Amino acid sequence: MTAPQRLIQTATEAVPKRPRGRPRKTADERDDGNRRPALLSAAARLFRRQGFDATSTRDIAAAVGMHSGSPFYHFKSKSALLCAVMEEGMRSAIARQACAVQSVPPSPALAQMRQLIRTHFDTLHGRGNDFVPVMLYEHRSLTDLQRVSLSKLQHEYEAAWTPVLEALHASGHLRAPVKLSRLLILGALSWSVQWFSARKGASLDELTDAAMALFLKE
Amino acid sequence: MTAPQRLIQTATEAVPKRPRGRPRKTADERDDGNRRPALLSAAARLFRRQGFDATSTRDIAAAVGMHSGSPFYHFKSKSALLCAVMEEGMRSAIARQACAVQSVPPSPALAQMRQLIRTHFDTLHGRGNDFVPVMLYEHRSLTDLQRVSLSKLQHEYEAAWTPVLEALHASGHLRAPVKLSRLLILGALSWSVQWFSARKGASLDELTDAAMALFLKE
DNA sequence: CCTACCGATCGGTAGG
DNA sequence: CCTACCGATCGGTAGG
């Protein structure tokens, strides 16, 4: 909160008044905001690799070249940083999902479904996409309030599946109840963070084919 | 390691020699072994509720009426206790699974499949079955060596699914590749620890029906 | 299994 | 964003 120039101003007594309004940022202040994304990325990577509890705020600070107390200048607590990671993950996942769904005509629900599955795998296993996997693992380390604020984004993400599943149910491609189907399907896909490896085994496309063949008739 | 009687023996110089061989347990010693199951159960319950890192060994000790250092008389480290919880969970899950499979004739693979799914849900959501859910969540908190020793039990559990899935694949009830099917199906079922509630929503039987309808044709 | 304790780590903060 | 620091907690151990 204390502005750096304060130090200089107190040295000289009579200083010409600064212009009114919010002071312009000087070159020295430019770091104020733009280190936040770096902190988020480093935190996401470390949280995914080591887990939330096994990662200290010192680890995160070191990963972006800060000193131990500095992350708390950007985030009020370690769990607030975790929550920010998850929110960022959900926001970009929702954007990716919306973009993917729009790129496919709505008429064959099977094609929409394939796109949803493929996009979900990308969100989980794409290069640098550590944000959502962290959310799947570390949900428990949030406070109740943070969980509530996140649940809105989660519902938004899940909501995109419902009309597609309903269409598939109506056309006979899906026989199980829609709501339980959504829970089971998303679980099957999300669980792949536990076993999928980009370097061995099936590719994401093969995985998508297998999921389609497993869940849908015809 | 130091036997409690030692204290008494040193008080009197000339003590009649104890009979050879391992000393019989006296009433005071009876706790030596049989507090272990209590520790395991308490640990499983707390690990599931709060997570491994959020549970201190003091919490566990208090839950069974011990003092803070005493769990380390039974387990050499906190993670050894975690590993013991998981091993106990897998052993009883495997036993439950073997019993369930044998109770059903092998001929309709669909009936076998239903039994496997239903038993898996029981292992995850049955009363007092906290051991396996802990394993699903806290896999990362094990040492590499512990993970290796556990993987044998996990493979044993998963192996029971393969012949059933192969039969279903051969009969046309399952179209996706067997190996990927097993991974996706077990993921869908296991993920239910994240959302299933015994007090609201579907029952375990309804869940089993939904899973059968979702994964299998006809 | 208890008592008494240690060393290390960690989230967080005051003040600049 | 750095410096310097604190209070609390925690896994684990020695000795009995």
Identify the helix (H) or strand (E) that includes residue B83: helix B78-102
| Whether A177 and B210 lie within 8 Å, measured CB to CB | yes
Q: Is B21 exposed, middle or buried (0-12, 13-18, 19+ CB in 10 A)?
A: exposed
- Output the DSSP codes for A5-17: HHHHHHHSSS-PP
**Confidence (pLDDT) at B33:** 63
**Mean pLDDT taken over chain A:** 87
- Output the DSSP codes for B202-213: --HHHHHHHHHH
The Cα–Cα gap between B202 and A182 comes to 14
Q: Which two tokens stand for residue A130?
A: 């550590």
| Whether B189 and A189 lie within 8 Å, measured CB to CB | no
Neighbours of A23 (CB within 10 A): 11
Q: Does B189 touch chain A (CB under 8 A)?
A: yes
Q: Would you place residue B140 in the very low, low, confident or very high pLDDT band (cuts 50, 70, 90)? A: very high
Q: Does A176 touch chain B (CB under 8 A)?
A: yes
Q: What whole-number percentage of chain B has pLDDT above 90?
A: 83
Distances in Å between the Cα of A31 and the Cα atoms of A58, A71, A73, B69, B178 are: 19, 13, 11, 47, 53
**Confidence (pLDDT) at A32:** 54
Q: List, for residues B125-138, the tens digit of each pLDDT value.
A: 999 999 999 999 99
Angle at A109 between CA A104 and CA A115, to 5 degrees: 50
The Cα–Cα gap between B18 and A45 comes to 61
Give the residue-averaged pLDDT of A169-176: 98
CB-CB neighbors (< 8 A) of B138 in chain A: none
Give the residue-averaged pLDDT of A38-48: 98
Q: Would you place residue B107 in the very low, low, confident or very high pLDDT band (cuts 50, 70, 90)? A: confident
Please enumerate in sequence order all residues whose Cβ is within 8 A of that of B2, keeping only pairs 6 or more positions apart, or say none.
none
Residue B177 DSSP SS3: coil
**Confidence (pLDDT) at B214:** 98
CB-CB neighbors (< 8 A) of A121 in chain B: none
Q: Would you place residue A5 in the very low, low, confident or very high pLDDT band (cuts 50, 70, 90)? A: very low
**Of B134, B138, B112, nearest in space to B123 by CA:** B134
Q: Would you place residue B3 in the very low, low, confident or very high pLDDT band (cuts 50, 70, 90)? A: very low
Q: List, for residues A79-95, the tens digit of each pLDDT value.
A: 999 999 999 999 999 99
**Confidence (pLDDT) at A176:** 98
Q: List, for residues A98-156, the tens digit of each pLDDT value.
A: 999 999 998 799 999 999 999 999 999 999 999 999 999 999 999 999 999 999 999 99
Q: Would you place residue B16 in the very low, low, confident or very high pLDDT band (cuts 50, 70, 90)? A: very low
End-to-end CA distance of chain B: 63
- Say yes or no to pLDDT of B21 above 60: no
**Confidence (pLDDT) at A36:** 94
Q: Does A23 touch chain B (CB under 8 A)?
A: no
Q: How far is CA B137 from the centre of its chain?
A: 12
Q: List, for residues B74-95, the tens digit of each pLDDT value.
A: 999 999 999 999 999 999 999 9
**Confidence (pLDDT) at A2:** 34
| Whether B207 and A54 lie within 8 Å, measured CB to CB | no
**Confidence (pLDDT) at A131:** 98
CATH number belonging to domain B28-215 = 1.10.357.10
Place of tokens 């996942």: A93
Q: Would you place residue A46 in the very low, low, confident or very high pLDDT band (cuts 50, 70, 90)? A: very high
| Whether B214 and A186 lie within 8 Å, measured CB to CB | no
Q: How far is CA A39 from the centre of its chain?
A: 14
Q: Where in chain A are the domains?
A: 86-215
CA of B7 to C1' of C2 (A): 15
**Of A33, A26, A19, A159, nearest in space to A98 by CA:** A159
Cα-Cα-Cα-Cα dihedral of A74, A79, A85, A91, to 10°?
Answer: -100
Q: CATH says A86-215 is which class?
A: mainly alpha
Q: What whole-number percentage of chain A has pLDDT above 70?
A: 85
The Cα–Cα gap between B170 and B151 comes to 28
CB-CB neighbors (< 8 A) of A181 in chain B: 210, 214
- Say yes or no to pLDDT of B108 above 90: yes
**Confidence (pLDDT) at B29:** 38
How near does any CA of chain A get to the CA of B91, in Å? 21
**Confidence (pLDDT) at B218:** 83
**Confidence (pLDDT) at A41:** 98
The Cα–Cα gap between A184 and A180 comes to 6
Q: Does B205 touch chain A (CB under 8 A)?
A: no
- Say yes or no to pLDDT of A29 above 80: no
The Cα–Cα gap between B141 and A77 comes to 23
Q: Is B67 exposed, middle or buried (0-12, 13-18, 19+ CB in 10 A)?
A: exposed
Of A92 and A12, more confident: A92
- Say yes or no to pLDDT of B5 above 80: no
Place of tokens 């729009």: A102
Q: What whole-number percentage of chain B has pLDDT above 70?
A: 85
Angle subtended by helix axes B109-125 and B161-170, to nearest 10:
140
**Mean pLDDT taken over chain B:** 87
